[in-house]
Structure 1
Amino acid sequence: MRLKPLKSRMFNVMFHAHTVSGIVISFALFVIFFAGSISLFMNELYRWENPEARFESISADQVDYDKICQTVKNKIPSFDVTAQFGMTPPTETNPLMLFYGSMKQPDGSVERFSTYLNPMTYDMMPPNKPKTHMAHTLYELHYFEQIPIVGGYLSGLVAFFFIFAIITGLLIHWKNMVSKFYGFSLKGNWKQIWTNSHISLGFIALPFQMIYAITGALLCLSIFLLAPTAFIMFGGDTSKVLKAVNPEAEYRHNPKASTVSEYASLNSIYRKVRDANPDKEIKYLYATNYTKEDATVSARTDDGIGITGDGLFIYSGTDGRLLQSADPRSKTYTTAAFGVLVKLHYANFGGLLLKTIYFLLSMVTCYIIISGVMIWRTARDNARYTSRQKKFHHRVTKFYLAITLSMFPALAIIFIGNIAVPMDMPDRSELVNTIFFVGWLLLTIVGLFWNSYGQQNRNYILIGSILGIIVPLANGLSTGDWLWKTLWSGQRYVYSVDIIWLVTGIFGLILCKRYLSKGATDLKL
């Protein structure tokens, strides 16, 4: 089947636009998808990365939320209960509660803080010094949070140019997209294999990639979209845009409002939300201007299944009346739009099955990115280019591959570092992050000395596989939670992480042995 092709001039324009945009964003896009695919399971990873959280979680209905708030007040006297504070109830993946709020400083300034509490013992960790931050580090990496100020905007621009690359790629392959999809073969030279797999897998992952490109660009560049939208639709009033999307934006709390002697308890608000939504899970409970006459207490709910299954309920903080709600059964399109955007991007609907599908498609996209780089490289290995130009193309390709392929062993390094560094060590999160980024940098530098692309590929797989097998061993030696023990005791999240690393490591070693058995020390890709 052949579709109508583009005219020759338009084809050339689209082809070069696709090539240039793709090669410019390729390594940054790989980092985004690779780190993002792991951070999809950020909640499921928590019990593994924090051995102190490996205990049976209590039901969120059993927590005394007023006591949680009072505990924080006792531990942090400067905690400002009138500023917005909130907490996340315990879940199956994380039995600890995250609490965030504000502290008043002696100079009158306000500092935000966050801390974890045990909902059974009410023990509280030191604020702003989490014992573990591994999954959050990977999550932050996928939008370049480590780059101050501009990191999020850069990831948004990468997503925007990814949209451009997808559209131009679709246009140039439109002619034979279907025939290439059904005619994919591993026979022929490497350029043909890279090209056919690039097109075929790109066709399969096209809807997923477009979703991620659009949602990523919108989430990271929303500030640039807000102003023109407000100007065109709301006469320049940005507050109306916020109100249309978020019902809470309608409430303006007065910091000078009078303090009241009687106010609604957090427990009573929680029970009201729970009674009204027995089939929903309360994800967040937070208050603004609490103990004052215009206080509000809000709760966000989610069924974890539907793409519009999230809800928001706002109650008066004085008498507990329901002031406004965005009920998933009746909320408007504008109210649901942002929530749908977030759910599509983070795959927090549809359960573990959808996350697994997202993960696999992210890995496919990583391969598509690498294959695109290799197509660009092999297309320039001809007489039209001088030896100097060929050396430049070779260095660029080697640099791109070193950065991207080294992420696999670097990922194993952060897992090993997280479990090897003692939990009671001060500033252990910073140390684990340093181990990860320094390890990734060293692996990248070492890879630049491997002159063959095949050698880079094989060595990174070999190193990552060996380190991957070490991950469950390090967990067992450090915590005593060996694979068989976690399987027997029902710690399925801890067991899953260990067994996945073990299987991945063994599979990688088998793959490397296959390369070595063929004498592919200088595999020319």
Structure 2
Amino acid sequence: MKIRSDIIKVYKDVHIWAGIVAGLMLFVAFYAGAITMFEKPLERWATPPAALAPPVPLERAEELLQATLAAHPQAARRYLLMVEPSADLPARVVWREPGAKRREFVEHGASFGPGGELQTQRLNKAPVAQWIDTLHQRVGLPFADPLARWLMGAVSLLYALALVSGLIVVLATLAKDLFALRIGKNIKRLWLDVHNALGIVSLPFHLIMALTCVVFAFHDEFYDAQDKAVYAQGIQWGREEGAAAPAPGAAPLPAAELLRRVERQLPGFRVFGFEFEQRDGVLQAAVTGLDTRYGTRARTYASTHLDPYTGTVDPHDLPGHQGGWDAAVNTFFMLHFGSFGGNTVRWMYLLLGLAGAALFYTGNLLWIESRRKKDRGQGGATQTRAARALSCLTIGVSLGCVAGISATLAATKWLPARVDDLGAWHQGIYYAVFVAALGWACVRGAARGAVELAWLCAALTLAIPLSSLAGMLGLGGAWNHGGMGAVVDVAALAAVPAFALIALRTRRRMARGHADSVWAAGGAGTAAVRSEEVQHARA
């Protein structure tokens, strides 16, 4: 495809500057977002085991509920009857109470002890998975909504602009350069080949991410317009219009009977549990579960309303039963979360997310190398302040994000026995490591900082399975669920040699690359590294 060189230059400049501005924040969003593809297994891995007795049979759920309400009347405001208790919700009856912070709630579980006595316990569901998801949503920025959401929307628009302009730039040589990886002395050409290959192969995924992120960032504005255009009378929640009100003194159906009626109405829908809430003196209910034939608006479940007195389901919120408009909205969420196709799609999205982080990292490397002042004489070349600053930011933000997430995950097994506000501690650990890594990169320089921070990432990632091992051995108050968290620990172990390889390759580049590059240590540092390389080669 023939495109005029002046047009290519314009789009190349647009691509470069849009990518530079948004790239570092997008690295955080993609790396954290890749991890959240398995948010539920991570949440189960990170949640301490409960001290409650095993859940009672579903047929005894009503008996347990009545005993719980008698001992804790406040539970009647909002409670759950779990059909399938899990590690993060290990009780048949769970109720929620407002927490100390806005929009925060505290969960409690109930069961019958060996002697038939009522047991209750506060459930300490680990917040680390939700925190990583929040980090992903806010592109790493320590701001609350709505500021973080608006900034995320602006970054997403720049992201879309960089994608389109980058595609136009490579169209002229697409057939020739798509799978070319020219490995040799020209490091810039190699990084360009890697960058182009990652961008073109994963372009549909990136277009989906950019479009859906814009929708999420400005969803309040879209919903306001939707309310006026589609729901002129307002969205109707709860009991269907025209449905008969419950008779005075009527009691909701037992959980076992509700389950039977829901399964008759929704074949193929796997019920996880029922949620009940008092609204204006009327008991409202919802059923939560999953039909694997359809993608969902949430990552791992779908929910809809039902009548707790008759068991009648209102299926219009469920995938496969939605109207055209609701199905279109559901598609945006489904495509962004990868909540279709099961674990196959989740693993694919995880790999694409990591590849996306690499895409933004290589984009910054290309900009830095393309503006390198080459050494034309014997005295060396001083690089521009912009190149040195961006190189330090690239190393500090990227590896700081990786190290911060690994550190807060490694702390998961130790914090519950020592602190109360787990969420604040997880945030504090992440940002402390992140800021320290960023400062270290600025002080040490891009080359030395990259090597040292890559080793730090390897060490902190190794600490994740080591913490689980300490829990298995009962050391220091740590804990472990046994085989349940194997996938998290194995994934962390697999990442350790990858970070070690990055450290070794970066050190080699520092020693053997261009002495006038920002990736060269310079002076005695370079000489020492080269001496070590020579000794290693002789050995």
2:105 maps to 113
2:336 maps to 345
Where 1:449 maps in the other structure, the secondary structure is helix
Cα gap change, 1:131 to 1:111, in 2 (>3 Å): closer
Q: Please state how far the C-alpha of 1:265 moved relative to its aligned partner.
A: 2.7
**1:501-523 deviation per Cα after TM superposition (whole angstroms, max 9, x unaligned):** 22322343355345556773978
- Letter in structure 2 aligned against 1:62: L
Q: Please state how far the C-alpha of 1:163 moved relative to its aligned partner.
A: 1.6
Q: Please state how far the C-alpha of 1:157 moved relative to its aligned partner.
A: 2.6
Matched, 1:438 2:460: no
**Counterpart mapping for 1:270-349 below 5 A:** 270-283=259-272, 285-289=274-278, 292=281, 295-307=283-295, 313-322=304-313, 325-326=316-317, 328-349=319-340
2:90 maps to 96
User: Quick one: distance in 2 between partners of 1:55 and 1:344?
Assistant: 38
- Greater shift in the superposed pair: 505-514 or 22-31: 505-514
CA contact (8 A) 2:239 2:307 kept: no
2:467 maps to 474
Out of 157, 160, 164, the residue aligned to residue 163 of structure 1 is 160
CA RMSD of aligned residues (A): 4.0
Q: Please state how far the C-alpha of 1:479 moved relative to its aligned partner.
A: 4.0
Q: Please state how far the C-alpha of 1:159 moved relative to its aligned partner.
A: 2.0
User: Quick one: distance in 2 between partners of 1:371 and 1:249?
Assistant: 53
Matched, 1:35 2:32: yes
Percent of matched pairs sharing the same residue = 16
- Letter in structure 2 aligned against 1:398: C
Q: Please state how far the C-alpha of 1:40 moved relative to its aligned partner.
A: 1.5
Out of 328, 346, 361, the residue aligned to residue 352 of structure 2 is 361
Matched, 1:458 2:451: yes
Cα gap change, 1:117 to 1:182, in 2 (>3 Å): same
Q: Please state how far the C-alpha of 1:179 moved relative to its aligned partner.
A: 1.8
User: Quick one: distance in 2 between partners of 1:238 and 1:169?
Assistant: 42
User: Quick one: distance in 1 between partners of 2:132 and 2:73?
Assistant: 33
Where 2:182 maps in the other structure, the secondary structure is coil
The count of aligned residue pairs is: 493
- Letter in structure 2 aligned against 1:500: A
Out of 391, 411, 415, the residue aligned to residue 409 of structure 2 is 415
Matched, 1:404 2:401: no
- Letter in structure 1 aligned against 2:471: S
User: Quick one: distance in 1 between partners of 2:110 and 2:406?
Assistant: 29
Q: Please state how far the C-alpha of 1:66 moved relative to its aligned partner.
A: 4.4
User: Quick one: distance in 2 between partners of 1:13 and 1:45?
Assistant: 44
Cα gap change, 1:161 to 1:90, in 2 (>3 Å): farther
User: Quick one: distance in 1 between partners of 2:103 and 2:370?
Assistant: 55
- Greater shift in the superposed pair: 10-19 or 89-98: 89-98
Cα gap change, 1:185 to 1:72, in 2 (>3 Å): farther
Where 2:126 maps in the other structure, the secondary structure is coil
- Letter in structure 2 aligned against 1:269: L
Cα gap change, 1:258 to 1:395, in 2 (>3 Å): same
Matched, 1:147 2:140: no
Cα gap change, 1:517 to 1:156, in 2 (>3 Å): closer
User: Quick one: distance in 1 between partners of 2:335 and 2:104?
Assistant: 29
Cα gap change, 1:507 to 1:381, in 2 (>3 Å): closer
Cα gap change, 1:164 to 1:446, in 2 (>3 Å): same
CA contact (8 A) 2:276 2:286 kept: yes
- Letter in structure 2 aligned against 1:502: L
- Letter in structure 2 aligned against 1:467: L
User: Quick one: distance in 1 between partners of 2:152 and 2:247?
Assistant: 44
Where 1:301 maps in the other structure, the secondary structure is strand
TM-score normalised per structure 1: 0.80
**Counterpart mapping for 1:189-338 below 5 A:** 189-229=186-226, 233-234=229-230, 242=235, 260-265=248-253, 267=255, 268-283=257-272, 285-289=274-278, 292=281, 295-307=283-295, 313-322=304-313, 325-326=316-317, 328-338=319-329
- Letter in structure 1 aligned against 2:137: Y
User: Quick one: distance in 1 between partners of 2:174 and 2:317?
Assistant: 43
- Letter in structure 1 aligned against 2:253: S
User: Quick one: distance in 2 between partners of 1:364 and 1:215?
Assistant: 18
**1:80-134 deviation per Cα after TM superposition (whole angstroms, max 9, x unaligned):** 62xx6656654666453695656699xxxx986241536676754448xx46211
User: Quick one: distance in 1 between partners of 2:395 and 2:512?
Assistant: 17
TM-score normalised per structure 2: 0.78
2:531 maps to none
User: Quick one: distance in 2 between partners of 1:191 and 1:30?
Assistant: 20
CA contact (8 A) 2:96 2:105 kept: yes
Where 1:314 maps in the other structure, the secondary structure is strand
2:525 maps to none
User: Quick one: distance in 1 between partners of 2:197 and 2:48?
Assistant: 43
Where 1:51 maps in the other structure, the secondary structure is coil
User: Quick one: distance in 2 between partners of 1:378 and 1:188?
Assistant: 13
CA contact (8 A) 2:450 2:506 kept: no
Where 2:105 maps in the other structure, the secondary structure is strand
Out of 27, 46, 62, the residue aligned to residue 58 of structure 2 is 62
- Letter in structure 2 aligned against 1:134: V
Q: Please state how far the C-alpha of 1:276 moved relative to its aligned partner.
A: 3.1
Query: Who wins on radius of gyration, i.e. which is larger?
Result: 2
- Letter in structure 2 aligned against 1:141: L
**1:316-358 deviation per Cα after TM superposition (whole angstroms, max 9, x unaligned):** 3444444554554443222322322222222222222211111
User: Quick one: distance in 2 between partners of 1:444 and 1:368?
Assistant: 20
Structure 2 gap segments, 5+ residues each: 375-380, 520-539
**Counterpart mapping for 1:37-56 below 5 A:** 37-52=34-49
CA contact (8 A) 1:37 1:362 kept: yes
User: Quick one: distance in 2 between partners of 1:501 and 1:193?
Assistant: 28
User: Quick one: distance in 1 between partners of 2:432 and 2:242?
Assistant: 46
Q: Please state how far the C-alpha of 1:44 moved relative to its aligned partner.
A: 0.7
**1:388-439 deviation per Cα after TM superposition (whole angstroms, max 9, x unaligned):** 9911332133123211122222222112211222436322442233222212
- Greater shift in the superposed pair: 217-226 or 427-436: 427-436
**1:56-83 deviation per Cα after TM superposition (whole angstroms, max 9, x unaligned):** 9979x838654675566456544562xx
Cα gap change, 1:202 to 1:99, in 2 (>3 Å): farther
Out of 494, 509, 518, the residue aligned to residue 503 of structure 1 is 494
Where 1:381 maps in the other structure, the secondary structure is coil
CA contact (8 A) 1:131 1:423 kept: no
- Letter in structure 2 aligned against 1:316: D
Q: Please state how far the C-alpha of 1:373 moved relative to its aligned partner.
A: 1.1
Where 2:137 maps in the other structure, the secondary structure is coil
Cα gap change, 1:68 to 1:179, in 2 (>3 Å): farther
Structure 1 gap segments, 5+ residues each: none
Cα gap change, 1:442 to 1:424, in 2 (>3 Å): closer
